[in-house]
Amino acid sequence: MSDLPKALTARKEALLSHINTCYLTILDLEQAEERYVSELQIQCNGPESEYIFDTTLNNQVGRAELHETRTQIYDHALIHGGLMASLRQIDAPLAAQLNAPVFRTMLKRFGQLRREVDEYLAERGAVLERNMIHVDNNGVLMAKITKAFNFTAGF
């Protein structure tokens, strides 16, 4: 019986190590994602106006690289979600605390993907047709986020 707390402590420490590694990887990938997104943003009307996602057919390579980076982020988010589920069984308050930053960024990212899809779908003709791959890619990524995080429960 006395080994149970030691075993749980060892498991918790191992989980925390994996969670930290996964989180740091996500942070690194997010920096790359931010660079790609900033390259794919255009200003609407003048220097004081908002930026929107450039849905023209320019920079298809950048969009492919953005998708690959996001795929890696979401794959790590799935791993992170699994690790958090395991930690939640041992220490739910700590799991909630450690999951909060990733949860918030994934929620924000989900909104960004949704806006991009809406902007792609607002196009017409050949532009819309050529961008449907990006609509589909974003749909896959949104499904990954939904699988890894329970927006209703907040984790």
- pLDDT(36) > 70: yes
The answer on pLDDT for 1 being more than 70 is no
Q: How far apart are CA 55 and CA 124, in angstroms?
A: 11
Task: Give the pLDDT score at 46.
Answer: 65
Alpha helices in the chain (DSSP H): 3-39, 60-90, 92-121, 125-148
pLDDT band at 154 (very low <50, low <70, confident <90, very high): low
**Mean pLDDT over residues 132-149, rounded?**
90
Q: Where is pLDDT greater, at 50 or 3?
A: 50
CB 123 within 8 A of CB 132: no
Q: Which two tokens stand for residue 152?
A: 């209703």
Task: For the chain, give the mean pLDDT.
Answer: 88
pLDDT tens sequence across 77-103: 889 989 999 999 999 999 999 999 999
| Residue 7 reports pLDDT greater than 70 | yes
